[in-house]
Amino acid sequence: MGSDAPYFDLRRDGFGIKEGSEEWRDMCLKVREASETHGYFLLMCDEVSNDLREEMFNQINTLFDLPLQTKMKYKKPKLFRSYNRRSPITPFYEGFGIDDAHLDVEAESFTNLMWPEGNPKFSETLKSMSSKMLDVGYLVLKMIMASYDIPNYASEAEKMKSTSDFKLLKYILPDGSSDETKVTMISHTDKGCISILYDNDVQGLQMLTKSGEWIDIKIPKGGFAIIIGDLLKAWSNGRLHAATHRVALTKAKLRYSFGLFPIIKEDMEIKVPNELVDDQHPLRYRPFIYRDYLNHYIATRNPEGLEVFAGI
Ligand SMILES: O=C(O)CCC(=O)C(=O)O
Ligand SMILES: [Fe+2]
């Protein structure tokens, strides 16, 4: 486990913690504290079974084994969605990003493009995993928003997951690589609300602490790594920390990961709620439309883009 990664256990043999109970309020405050101090945490939960996780990796393997020409057929206009092949810019990973993969129509249209003869096992697994991860995301968003006493926290959280990107990633170091650690995905903050990540138990994810140290994050079996993204940082008036992270591999040559990124729709606005502005916390970000922020990011690729674009 990453040296001091905050860790929460929400498993209750399928019963969950009752929303609004004292235990729930207590947990909300701890989740918020971790999100403000570190910008990430590990979460154990009941939502996704181990069988489903295993099946997801079987399916990911089959997907990446398809011929390059087939994978290249997947093209989307949005940032981070099309098939991203290994290239001089990203030599160590390839990946796909699928919008709203929990919906039949999206899961099936992606599957039918990759397997024109059909592959119901793939689309079922993809749909089921993304829908369960979306539930986990909703739970975390509600907990964070409830912790700030936002009166309409459930509908605010709902808005933050009004759409989503499901990412499938394969990292590979070429044969004959030295034993040195190689950064296989460069350091970044995520541009959406929160990120929910899982990997095939091959160490790779690293978080940058506020004191400037990179630490390894070992995602527990049966759990997820949760990372705060730029949009939630802006929404929270800068109280939540959008943690910088990257992927680095040593020795192990093959790593698979998948992630669900709940986000607002591109035409929606991010606006700091009044409850989060006071004398100690003057307004730090102006309201903005998500699409405008994305366009700014695409044009500048500035890691400090949120401050430049929306900072007051
Ligand atoms: O593969 C991982 O563990 C992290 C992926 C990631 O940071 C991203 O896709 O934004
Ligand atoms: Fe990321």
CA distance 106 to 166: 11
The H or E element containing residue 199 is: strand 194-199
What local confidence, expressed as pLDDT, does residue 15 receive? 60
Q: Considering the chain, what percentage of its residues have pLDDT values greater than 90?
A: 83
pLDDT of residue 292 exceeding 90: yes
Per-residue confidence band for 234, with pLDDT thresholds at 50, 70 and 90: very high
Residue with tokens 């400037």: 212
Helix axes 120-147, 50-64, angle to 10 degrees: 120
For the CA of 188, the nearest ligand: 2
Q: Rounded CA gap, 121 and 62, in Å? A: 11
Task: For residue 77, give the 3-state DSSP assignment.
Answer: coil
| Sequence-distant (≥ 6) Cβ neighbours of residue 300 within 8 angstroms | 308
* pLDDT over 90 (residue 19): no
Average pLDDT over residues 88-109: 95
The residue with tokens 């690729």 is 301
Nearest ligand 1 atom, CA 169: 1
Round the average pLDDT of the chain to a whole number and report it: 93
Query: What is the pLDDT averaged over residues 66-89?
Result: 91
Q: How far is the CA of 244 from the centre of ligand 2 (A)?
A: 8
Between the CA of 207 and the centroid of ligand 1 the distance, in Å, is: 11
Mean pLDDT in residue range 217-234: 96
Q: How many domains does the chain have?
A: 1
Question: What single-letter DSSP state applies at residue 17?
Answer: P
Q: Which residues pair with 225 in a beta bridge?
A: 42, 197
Pocket test for ligand 1, best of 228, 247, 249, 254 (most atoms within 8 A of CB): 247
Report which of 191, 197, 184 is spatially closest to residue 91, judged by C-alpha positions.
184
**312 occurs within a structural domain:** no
Instruction: Please provide residue 212's backbone torsions phi and psi, each rounded to the nearest 5 degrees.
Output: 90, 15
Atom 7 of ligand 1: nearest residue by CA position: 246
Amino acid letter, 180: E
In a domain, 298, yes or no: no
User: Is 290 part of any domain?
Assistant: no
pLDDT band of 311, cuts 50, 70, 90 = very high
For 283, counting Cβ atoms within 10 Å of its Cβ (0-12 exposed, 13-18 middle, 19+ buried), the class is: middle
For a ligand 1 pocket test, name from 64, 197, 246 the mutation site with the most ligand atoms within 8 angstroms of its C-beta: 197
For residue 251, count other CB atoms closer than 10 A to its CB: 12
Q: What is the pLDDT of residue 256?
A: 97
Whether residue 17 is predicted with pLDDT greater than 90 in this model: the reply is no
Q: Rounded CA gap, 207 and 187, in Å?
A: 9
**Choice among 40-44, 64-68, 298-302 with the minimum mean pLDDT:** 298-302
Position 291 in a domain = no
The answer as to whether 285 is a domain residue is no
CA nearest to 260, candidates 107, 101, 121, 139: 101
Residue 14 pLDDT = 55
Provide the CATH number for the domain around residue 143: 2.60.120.330
pLDDT in tens, 140-160: 999 999 999 999 999 999 999
Ligand closest to 247 (CA) is 1
Task: Enter the pTM of the model.
Answer: 0.96
Mutate which of 167, 228, 231 for ligand 1? The one with the most ligand atoms within 8 Å of its CB, which is 167
- Residue 308: inside a domain, yes or no? no
Q: Which ligand is nearest to the CA of 189?
A: 2
Task: Tell me the per-residue pLDDT of 256-286, one tens digit each, with 9 for 90 and over.
Answer: 999 999 999 999 999 999 999 999 999 999 9
pLDDT exceeds cutoff 60 at 3: no
In terms of residue numbers, what domain contains 250? 7-279
259 inside domain: yes
User: Does 302 fall in a domain?
Assistant: no
Please name the residue that has the structure tokens 């929460």: 8
For residues 157-180, give the mean pLDDT.
91
Quote the CA–CA distance of 268 and 25 in Å, as a whole number: 29
Buried b (16+ CB within 10 A) or exposed e, 186-218: eeebbbbbbbbbbbbebbbbbbbbeeeeeeebb
| Nearest CA-CA partner of 44 in 15, 10, 17, 13 | 10
Asked whether 168 lines ligand 1 (CB < 6 A), one says no
pLDDT at 252: 74
Q: Rounded to the nearest 5°, which phi and psi values hold at 229?
A: -105, 175
Per-residue pLDDT tens for 184-218?
Answer: 999 999 999 999 999 999 999 999 999 999 999 99
Ligand 1 atom nearest to CA at 195: 10
Confidence of residue 1 (pLDDT cuts 50, 70, 90): very low
